[in-house]
Amino acid sequence: MNGSTPMPANEAPPGVVAAPTPDSPATSLPDPMLDSPPRRIGMRGRLLLAAAAIAGVWGLYVLSLQFAAYTSDAFVATDVVQVAPEVGGTIAAVHVIDNQFVRQGDPLIDIDPTPYALQVELRRAEVAKAEADEQSAIRDVARAEAERATKLASQGLARRTERRFSDLVEQGAASQLIFDEAKTKMSEAGTAVRASEAGLEAARQAVEARKATVGVAKRALDLAMWDLSQTRLLAPVSGHVNNLWLRIGDYARPGVPRLGIVASDRWYVMALYKEEAIRHLAEGGSVWIHLDLYPWQLFRGRIEGVSRGIGRELQQTAILPDIAPTTGWIRFQRRFPVRIRFEQVPDEVRLHAGANARTLAVYGW
């Protein structure tokens, strides 16, 4: 009005501090804590934090061992039966193919039975001959017994004749010469009796020998028949044929495996646990099993046993053992095999020997 410019309502005159209004922002004083640079952790603090973290992790690990033990060093296993022939010969037939499932008693391969069948016929002929010889020896015993009876009768007659002539000589009715002849005949009759008895004993011993020969011939026949039966190899267990590498015409040698059968009813897991864990493991303990074959499925198992020993390099070959000095700073724990059986395997699960596995043994509750 007087020619001067009007001042805004919220602006104070010069030299006067304006009071804050509801529409004006509040003015705050500077905070020295906010304006100061952040403090950095020194090297000692970092080392302490790292040591504390390591100690914490180690403590958790040691604490976990009181409840459970885990290992990834495990694999699926089963009994693998090596099938080897008991007799040698040319393979005449192969009844299976590789990876085929067979049941116990199913035929696998046939070996040419011709030489073994001929051996059976030969042994049968030997048995028949031995039995015929035995019967002949029995008849010889009967003849020896009859001859002994004749000699005994002759001896009795000679003894009575000698007594009769002895009385006649005492009465003077017979000469001494006739009496001496009677005594000689009685002596000869005794010798003949003893010879017949010896012959009878020899005949009886011959019968026993013939019986033993018959027994030997029969056992040889049994062995030949067994060899003949072994020309067909049968599956000793139920499972899958593995590593079949033979064909008709190959020669099979006794005791040399020609194929294997992976048993289908004895699956288990062989897990290797460290020394610090095996002291907690006991037979019957519960185990969780994870297989790479079925990554989204867990299996329950039970501990069948913990190995009581593993091999070491030290072997005593002298009176005083030679112990090499230990120079390593790090001493690794040994691992011991732990056998774990499956509690139940679903029918749709197909296991393979040697497949990777992981196991978690729970024993803290």
Task: Break the chain into its structural domains and give their ranges.
Answer: 67-80+265-311+332-362, 82-110+232-261, 114-229
Phi and psi torsions of 186, nearest 5°:
-65, -40
User: What CATH class has 82-110+232-261?
Assistant: mainly beta
Q: Where does residue 337 rank: exposed (0-12), middle (13-18), buried (19+ CB within 10 A)?
A: middle
Q: Can you give the pLDDT at residue 315?
A: 61
User: What mean pLDDT, rounded, does the chain reach?
Assistant: 81
Q: Cα(59)–Cα(293) distance, rounded to whole angstroms?
A: 34
pLDDT reading at 12 higher than 70: no
DSSP state, 2?
-
The answer as to CATH 3.40.30.10 being correct for domain 67-80+265-311+332-362 is no
Phi and psi torsions of 129, nearest 5°:
-65, -40
Phi and psi torsions of 151, nearest 5°:
-65, -35
pLDDT per residue as tens digits for the range 111-135: 999 999 999 999 999 999 999 988 8
- Give whichever of 126-130, 179-183, 326-330 has the largest mean pLDDT: 126-130
pTM of the entire predicted model: 0.64
pLDDT reading at 65 higher than 80: no
User: How crowded is the C-beta side of 306, counted as CA atoms within 13 Å?
Assistant: 15
Residue 260: name the closest of 99, 82, 78, 79 by CA: 82
Q: Cα(310)–Cα(112) distance, rounded to whole angstroms?
A: 45
CATH number of 114-229: 3.40.50.620, 3.40.640.10, 1.10.287.620, 3.40.1410.10? 1.10.287.620
Least confident of 101-110, 124-133, 176-185, 230-239: 176-185
Overall average pLDDT of the 63-92 stretch: 86
pLDDT per residue as tens digits for the range 18-28: 455 545 554 55
Least confident of 43-47, 100-104, 226-230, 294-298: 43-47
